[in-house]
Amino acid sequence: MATLNLVQAITLTLQQAMQADERVILLGEDVGLNGGVFRVTDGLQAQFGEHRVVDTPLAESGIIGTAIGLAINGMRPIPEIQFEGFLGPAYDQIVNHAARYRNRTRGAIPVPVTIRVPVGGGIHAPELHSDSPETIYAHSPGIKVVYPTTPSDAKGLLTAAIRDPDPVIFFEPKKVYRSFREEVSEDDYEIEIGKAKVVNEGSDLTIVTWGASLFECLGAMDNAPDDVDIELIDLRTIFPMDIDTIAESVEKTGRCIVVHEAPLTGGMGAEVSARIQERCFLHLEAPVQRVTGFDTIMPFYKLENEYLVDAKRIGSAIAETLAY
Amino acid sequence: MPKTTAYQAIIEHISILDENANFDSQLGDGVMTDEQALHLYEHMCTCRELDEVAFKLQRSGRMGTYPQNKGQEAAAVGVALALQKGKDWIVPSYRENAALFMHGLPMHYIFMYWMGDERGSQMPEGVNVTPLSVPIGTHMLHATGIAWAEKLRKSDGVAATFFGDGATSEGDFHEAMNFASTLKVGVVFIGQNNGWAISVPRSKQMNSETLCQKALAYGMPTVRVDGNDIYAVHYAAKDAVARARAGEGPTFIECVTYRLGDHTTADDARRYRDEQEVEAWRNRDPILRVRKYLTAKGSWDDARDEALKAKAKKIVAEVVDAAINVAPPETTDFFDDMYESLPEDLRRQRETMRTSSLGQDPSQVGLNAQAASVEGR
């Protein structure tokens, strides 16, 4: 066991994956000598060489498009897109090519690529460095969308993603990158993609969340009255979504709040909410509530904390839902 | 300080067998054997027949939209002849059927594809061909990645990718060229400059005199050839493939050609093209000049040509049969290859696609009771 933050856990995972499988290569902007802008790939070029940790030209579509070609021809590429705000130019390659290849060739040409993307706000970054676009990719059949929060989950899920025979977009909440450390096993282990985690068991109310918002939920739970027993679920994978774990919880508690950073309209909170009313209608004691980002442009950092969900807003939702 | 020249370049143009069947033996001798030329001629004729039959199938409602390849066969076969089946890759657009067949793709797969069946892209084992790419200019990046994988494995396979003049306006074209050249991987870029991107002529597409100039920007060797001349295309392709195989990086070949048909069966080129222009290009047909040349050499005659036409008709009739008589796809096929193993939620959608409202648990919302009452009425 080692005590690692999220960055270190991901670095360790990449290192172990590259040691175990020669087909694994890293590519992206500044991932080589510089170790990536968040230092996630720090030291890996020195260890594995320039041909396996590759500083590419500055072109996101080119990074994903060539990664698709690498995957078609037997490699296991792990491209990094520097910030989620720069996914735009690569959207076509991800959604129209990577996601569709297996299906449109009826299984003949799979595209095993793992796209790593730092995501979300809260680090006082410049514009287009703080968005939460997970829903866009969850709504694009053919790709899996993984969004871990903790270092140990990230290690198990990234290992699973790299070994997955299908394309995975792996979102890394940058606010959590260095916010805390935990024990992470150095052994080889996978966490199944598509399985949520019950972080805290409870009987009065279910909170479903993912990413950095998890810590705001924990804060709200600390502030809640002692006799309120809250079940907290970290979704961990956005698609395929683990609706069974959510439904099982809501059938028990009868109340649910979904918390995420991304905007409200059409966000994954809407999908969770719809699934709950389909599966748990007769168990519901209150409407499913959403505490999310707003349908606005993510503000520059002077106002980013006004946008981001916080323990106070979640606390209000808890009180409203319990009082309904 | 006096001004100096920072960069200078020359773009060569290659023509060996011209439209009047004049052959430049200085350049052309040894490019390919007469036997190879005959083979390419026969294959081009068969593909032309396939193209005409596809058009008729579309017009009679038995095939969806189809883009005729007519007029551009030389670029396809001239390149494919330089490639090794089962080792090299072809990453196509959709106007080079003849190359894909030479590289191992069964002919009826193309018909299945345009008849709306994904199994037309279910490449058989060992056929190194990616599916047709309908979005313009985004697939060349895959060729760069495929060639990159060859380099990483220290193998010498080559990726050849086809696209049109319009595709060179797309950003991904430039990224594919820049990545290939910077990474020094073995891609052969084949720009089929047929002068038209649907209705937009080259003059409105770009202010570049040639497509080759774009390769110069990436420090990539480039050559312009008569794209209706199998000898010129093959001359350039052989050279490019040899360079790629030797680890010397990518090459860009501009094939100057013309599509004799409409963009697709949904298009009417008379709306934007002058009939005189089309007529002039009919005289430059890549097939006609090879027949003239081989006939003049005594390697071909009218009787053999009649026999070839009959053989082509028979082959294509069999292709049509194979495509039309393929077993219908299972209604759930479009679920099954979404992922290697189907996620639980998708499995539920698949199982209930015709019987239930998606995701509903009937016991929760009384759907069973509703269904019963409907039946009872």
Q: Which residues of A touch B131 (CB under 8 A)?
A: 104-105, 109
Those of residues 333-352 in B touching chain A at CB distance below 8 A are: 333-334, 336-340, 343-346
C-alpha–C-alpha distance, residues A291 and A259, integer Å: 5
- Cβ–Cβ below 8 Å for B118 and A108: no
Q: What value does the mean pLDDT take over residues B145-151?
A: 98
Under the banding of pLDDT at 50, 70 and 90, the label for residue B358 is: low
pLDDT in tens, A58-84: 999 999 999 999 999 999 999 999 999
Q: In what order do the strands lie in the sheet with A230-234?
A: A197-200, A230-234, A205-209, A256-263, A289-293
Walk along chain A (324 residues) and give the pLDDT tens digit of each residue. Answer: 899 999 999 999 999 999 999 999 999 999 999 999 999 999 999 999 999 999 999 999 999 999 999 999 999 999 999 999 999 999 999 999 999 999 999 999 999 999 999 999 999 999 999 999 999 999 999 999 999 999 999 999 999 999 999 999 999 999 999 999 999 999 999 999 999 999 999 999 999 999 999 999 999 999 999 999 999 999 999 999 999 999 999 999 999 999 999 999 999 999 999 999 999 999 999 999 999 999 999 999 999 999 999 999 999 999 999 999
| Separation in Å, CA of B329 to nearest CA in chain A | 11
C-alpha–C-alpha distance, residues B107 and A112, integer Å: 29
Question: Does A210 share its domain with A151?
Answer: no
pLDDT in tens, B244-290: 999 999 999 999 999 999 999 999 999 999 999 999 999 999 999 99
Question: Does A157 share its domain with A204?
Answer: no
Given the residues B139, B263, B289, B291, the one annotated as active site: B263
For residue B368, pLDDT beyond 60: no
Residue B252 CA, chain-centre distance (Å), reads: 16
- Cβ–Cβ below 8 Å for A59 and B178: yes
- Has residue A228 been placed in a domain? yes
Long-range interactions of A266-269: CB distance < 8 A, separation 24+: A266/A135, A267/A135, A267/A292, A267/A293, A268/A134, A268/A135, A268/A138, A268/A235, A268/A238, A268/A241
Number of structural domains, chain A?
Answer: 2
Picking from A56, A68, A81, A106 by the largest number of B CB atoms within 10 A of its own CB, the best residue to mutate is A106
Among B118, B144, B346, the residue with its CB nearest the CB of A104 is B118
CB of B146 less than 8 A from some CB of A? yes
Using DSSP's 3-state secondary structure scheme, residue A145 falls into: strand
C-alpha–C-alpha distance, residues B81 and B39, integer Å: 10
Under the banding of pLDDT at 50, 70 and 90, the label for residue B363 is: low
Q: ipTM for the complex?
A: 0.96
Phi and psi dihedrals of B40, rounded to 5? -65, -40
Question: Does A179 share its domain with A77?
Answer: yes
Chain B residue with minimum CA distance to A93: B138
**Domain B13-324 sits in which CATH superfamily?**
Thiamin diphosphate (ThDP)-binding fold, Pyr/PP domains (3.40.50.970)
Residue bearing the bigger pLDDT, B368 or B159: B159
Residue B357's pLDDT is 66
Q: With left for phi above 0 and alpha for psi between -120 and 50, is residue A212 left, alpha or beta?
A: alpha
Under the banding of pLDDT at 50, 70 and 90, the label for residue B353 is: confident
- Cβ–Cβ below 8 Å for B344 and A194: yes
- Has residue A191 been placed in a domain? no
Cite the residue boundaries of each domain of chain B with CATH code 3.40.50.970: 13-324
Intra-chain end-to-end CA distance of chain A, in Å: 45
Residue B354's pLDDT is 78
How many H helices and E strands in chain A?
A: 12, 14
| Separation in Å, CA of A76 to nearest CA in chain B | 10
- Has residue A168 been placed in a domain? yes
For residue B329, pLDDT beyond 70: yes
Domain boundary among A184, A209, A233: A184
Could you tell me the CATH number of the domain that includes residue A174?
3.40.50.970
Residue B376's pLDDT is 43
A2 touches A183 (CB < 8 A): yes
| Separation in Å, CA of B277 to nearest CA in chain A | 36
Intra-chain end-to-end CA distance of chain B, in Å: 98
- Has residue A247 been placed in a domain? yes
* pLDDT-above-90 percentage for chain B: 92
Residue A300's pLDDT is 96
- Cβ–Cβ below 8 Å for B345 and A241: yes
Question: Does A243 share its domain with A104?
Answer: no
Residue A146 CA, chain-centre distance (Å), reads: 4
Q: What value does the mean pLDDT take over residues B233-243?
A: 98
> Catalytic annotation on A129?
yes
- Cβ–Cβ below 8 Å for B179 and A62: yes
C-alpha–C-alpha distance, residues B366 and B272, integer Å: 60
Given the residues B13, B119, B270, B272, the one annotated as active site: B272
Residue A83's pLDDT is 97
For residue B365, pLDDT beyond 90: no
Residue B59's pLDDT is 96
**Structure tokens given for A166:** 């299908």
Look-up of token digits 């030291």: A43
Question: Does A274 share its domain with A216?
Answer: yes
- Cβ–Cβ below 8 Å for A141 and B338: yes
Q: Which of B86, B102, B107 is nearest to B39 (CA)?
A: B102
- Cβ–Cβ below 8 Å for A69 and B344: no
Among B124, B146, B339, the residue with its CB nearest the CB of A69 is B146
For residue B222, pLDDT beyond 80: yes
Quote the domain boundaries for residue A280: 197-323
* pLDDT-above-70 percentage for chain B: 94
Those of residues 306-335 in B touching chain A at CB distance below 8 A are: 333-334
Residue B360's pLDDT is 58
Is the bond preceding B67 in cis, omega lying within 30 degrees of 0? no
A96 touches A41 (CB < 8 A): no
Half-sphere exposure of B82 (CA within 13 A, CB side): 29
pLDDT in tens, B88-115: 999 999 999 999 999 999 999 999 999 9
Residue B373's pLDDT is 46
Residue bearing the bigger pLDDT, B151 or B374: B151
- Cβ–Cβ below 8 Å for B150 and A73: yes
Q: Bridge-partner residues for A291, per DSSP?
A: A259
- Cβ–Cβ below 8 Å for B123 and A141: no
Question: Does A103 share its domain with A29?
Answer: yes
C-alpha–C-alpha distance, residues B63 and B87, integer Å: 32
Task: For strands B13-14 and B187-193, give the pairing.
Answer: unpaired
Under the banding of pLDDT at 50, 70 and 90, the label for residue B370 is: very low
- Has residue A189 been placed in a domain? no
Could you tell me the CATH number of the domain that includes residue A293?
3.40.50.920
Residue B362's pLDDT is 57
C-alpha–C-alpha distance, residues B357 and A277, integer Å: 13
Chain A residue with minimum CA distance to B180: A66
Q: Which residues of A touch B344 (CB under 8 A)?
A: 194, 240, 244
- Has residue A18 been placed in a domain? yes
- Cβ–Cβ below 8 Å for B339 and A102: yes
Domain boundary among A130, A150, A184: A184
Given the residues A51, A129, A139, A283, the one annotated as active site: A129
| Separation in Å, CA of A262 to nearest CA in chain B | 23
- Has residue A21 been placed in a domain? yes
For residue B375, pLDDT beyond 60: no
Chain A residue with minimum CA distance to B125: A108
**pTM exceeds 0.80:** yes
Domain boundary among A184, A205, A223: A184
pLDDT in tens, B49-103: 999 999 999 999 999 999 999 999 999 999 999 999 999 999 999 999 999 999 9
Q: Which residues of A touch B337 (CB under 8 A)?
A: 102-103, 105-107
